[in-house]
Copies of this chain bind each other. A is one copy, B any other.
């Protein structure tokens, strides 16, 4: 899933350069890292990318080797449930037993062996049973920025690598997050899934009947000359819906694979701050930065020097045409800033 136009990494991210196309970690974009991670496990011909029409060309250039026909273009953004349904329809036309893994293109994963192991467990589950499987990350901190999955210790499969899902919990308060962490039966909801394409579409039929009907109409034209016109005619009538809310929270055949790899949804500049190595004074400097008498700062400054004196716990994101300065505990409010920049008529900076 490579759509999305988040503003959370503004001013580095822009409308035409969203998070999945940034190489703020390492020298590859988040999308390239995601593709590389998967091509170690499957042939590149088996990698499908779903993306909005506005970004399709840009994305295609970024992923050398992925067949052009595997780039599934949505006429408009309808959130994750329809996106996954559309790809499932394509896969089903190719192979009625097709198994699909669903991965956001803008998440960070460290530790290939553990990632690959979690996927193997998930594959065994979905091949042997009609299950919807999600990857849940063993939490390393009482993070309040993630949704959580509570699993049922009694319903264990695959030698304790997977469990039945008891409940999905929204982003918790700090005290609830602490309780979740201590309980030992909560995992971070990673937004990565494994299931048979057919099982997903069945779940859609059960829990999102209207969506399913439209998806069926589109699905029947995959591979025919009517596909594009049917897609364009039908797609807009879909109401936006997330797979979490539309299906997972309602379905009963959901299992979670307890996953130990290091994972971040890269939800904000703070995710970035948490991931990068700190200097002795607790500052993170990417590029050319100088901090005097201050700690806990994030300085992102490529191609120019940013000097900060006497300030702590702020984020400074310094690009050629726009600079953002904000306390780190308010980076979630970048949205507000971006909407004010828009109000100022500065579309060139969006």
Contact = CB atoms under 8 A, between A and B. Distances in A.
Contact of A318 (B308, B314, B323, B330): B323
B340 A323 contact: no
On chain A, which size bracket covers the interface? 20 to 34
Given A340-B290, A341-B290, A326 B309 contact: yes
Contacts of A325: 306-309, 311, 314, 316, 325
Interface in A1-57: 11
Q: Which residue, of A290, A344, A346, has the highest number of chain B Cβ atoms within 10 A?
A: A290
B327 A305 contact: no
Contacts of A290: 337, 340-341, 344
Q: Which of A305, A314, A330 has the most CB of B within 10 A?
A: A305
A309 B292 contact: no
A269 to B, nearest CB: 12
B308 A322 contact: no
Nearest to A297: B325
A321 B305 contact: yes
Interface string A275-307: 000000000000000101000000001001111
A337 B138 CA distance: 43
B322 A309 contact: no
Contacts of A310: 326-327, 330, 333
Contacts of A322: 304-307
Contact of A323 (B305, B330, B333, B349): B305
A305 B308 CA distance: 18
A347 interface: no
Given A290-B340, A292-B340, A344-B290, A307 B323 contact: yes
A305 to B, nearest CB: 5
B292 A307 contact: no
A341 B309 contact: no
A304 B326 contact: no
Given A305-B322, A306-B325, A310-B333, 17 more contacts: A290-B341, A292-B337, A305-B349, A306-B323, A307-B325, A309-B326, A309-B327, A309-B330, A309-B333, A309-B336, A310-B326, A310-B327, A310-B330, A311-B311, A314-B325, A316-B323, A325-B325
23 contacts: A290-B337, A290-B340, A292-B336, A304-B321, A304-B323, A305-B321, A306-B325, A307-B326, A307-B340, A307-B341, A308-B325, A308-B326, A309-B325, A309-B327, A310-B327, A310-B330, A310-B333, A311-B311, A311-B325, A311-B327, A314-B325, A318-B318, A323-B323
